[in-house]
Structure 1
């Protein structure tokens, strides 16, 4: 596969991201396995400590900005004056010109179904109804199959060590930015941070995720103004309800020749030749059901 398609893609060879650990297999034989390394990363907004996240910490700047945007602690028009990451203390500080009201937001924090402690705030839901996604966006079914094949065959931390979620920003049938992390909300936030800092427009983009399509995933996608979301995994009822409310195209269980669209189906263009579409390869069958992580 032509890896030049990606602007950013996983780097499973990065020694900071995995460790070799010895153990025994099902036959009692001594083996060594690659395991994913997670680290605590403490995020500050100006002088205020916001949260400590468990992350692989490969793109801390994108993660920090994306988290603050998706929690409405940063506004799209806020001017970021600096982002400082200290690898020794595992801290990242985002600095802005505007004095933010994060202390009040922290009081309104509620837990959601994300891995670790994904969060949503009251004012995120309050503004949800005002967001309008691009109605002109389209999703060709041939793109679903092409994206699934390209993403699943890309060398990744998941294939190297597992215990990881992946999120990919795409345009048509081209994967652009592929982020991984131990929590699916972290991977989403990295995409959000990348889009904001690089001024990427969302209207013609597709968001691919390996994780479940929960309320949190739908809320974050809508916050990012992404009109189309595809997942290998399934749905929650609230996730579907919110997607229909926002007119977000929600496609799940996308494996091999199969997928299921439960919201925003008017954007679908059925152009794929299913007779020429292969079932999912044995590599992912062997690795197991990553969407159940």
Structure 2
């Protein structure tokens, strides 16, 4: 299996960007000085029209996609909503998303809660709203594709390999990774992906979302609301995440390491092909 090259991705991590990491000095177990780079964290405040929505801690890249994806994944920006502008002020650390018509989001803000996610991790009391009646495409998943994706993504040049302490999310089709995002919070990485898909009008029905983070209820809900039928992680699950996945027909595969994995939803869609058996 070959290592994935950044130039084959529509969006790829940029571990060489000096704005995303900072140099520090540490002392190792032998008392020796060690130079290393650590991931940056910067506050990013998101506005929807004139209303301040949230301030998230983020690594700092792709702020416009992060803002769009966050608002869409929180149900504050509908798929048919006309976005007239996305303005980013780097000095202030502010993104303003403007819509043609004022949105009705005050009620959601009054019910905001903190979840188990890293960094922003904010969803709302009606987080299950929108899942009723949702049916995802029944997409088959070949084991050989899962193994190829795991091998390629884990060896792609990334901030994780450069500095650690970061999560990754990759949109894939079959065994082909398409776009790869990283951030200090796994929710931020997913929101960047959602924002990019919205801007580029990328169809979701035949895609796989690979994430390094835990498969909690909010991660499962975000994937389902984005219309992506398959969610894969090298990490584990929560009970509520399992229940929601089975409710909406999302194929969920976790603990993908080497040639091992566990499928907790959509098991009938797993294709154990010859290549995997070999």
User: 4+ residue stretches of structure 1 with deviation over 3 A?
Assistant: 272-276
Query: 1:162 maps to what in 2?
Result: 164
Aligned partners of 1:240 and 1:45: how far apart in 2?
A: 32
- Report the structure, 1 or 2, having the larger helix content: 1
**Correspondence list, 1:28-39, <5 A:** 28-39=31-42
Change (3 A) 1:154 1:41: same
> Does 1:50 find its partner at 2:53?
yes
> Does 1:65 find its partner at 2:60?
no
Aligned partners of 2:33 and 2:218: how far apart in 1?
A: 41
Query: 2:26 maps to what in 1?
Result: 23
Query: 1:76 maps to what in 2?
Result: 79
Secondary structure at the aligned position of 1:110 is classed as strand
Cα deviation per residue 1:175-199 (whole Å; 9 max; x = unaligned)?
0110000000000100110111111
Aligned partners of 1:78 and 1:94: how far apart in 2?
A: 11
CA shift, 1:224, in A, is 0.4
Cα deviation per residue 1:106-147 (whole Å; 9 max; x = unaligned)?
001122111134122234312212221112x11111110000
> Does 1:115 find its partner at 2:109?
no
Secondary structure at the aligned position of 1:243 is classed as helix
Query: 1:291 maps to what in 2?
Result: none
Query: 1:273 maps to what in 2?
Result: 275
Query: 1:203 maps to what in 2?
Result: 205
Aligned partners of 2:244 and 2:73: how far apart in 1?
A: 16
Aligned partners of 1:174 and 1:145: how far apart in 2?
A: 11
Aligned partners of 1:158 and 1:272: how far apart in 2?
A: 32
Residue 250 of structure 1, aligned match among 249, 252, 267: 252
Query: 1:144 maps to what in 2?
Result: 146
Query: 1:288 maps to what in 2?
Result: none
- The TM-score, its normalising length taken from structure 1, stands at 0.91
Query: 1:285 maps to what in 2?
Result: none
Q: Which runs of 5+ in 2 are unaligned?
A: none
> Does 1:131 find its partner at 2:134?
yes
Aligned partners of 1:45 and 1:27: how far apart in 2?
A: 51
CA shift, 1:247, in A, is 0.6
Residue 218 of structure 1, aligned match among 217, 220, 242: 220
Residue 155 of structure 2, aligned match among 153, 169, 176: 153
- The TM-score, its normalising length taken from structure 2, stands at 0.96
* 8 Å CA contact 1:131, 1:225 repeated in 2: no
Aligned partners of 1:108 and 1:182: how far apart in 2?
A: 25
Q: Which runs of 5+ in 1 are unaligned?
A: 277-293
**Correspondence list, 1:156-195, <5 A:** 156-195=158-197
Query: 2:100 maps to what in 1?
Result: 97
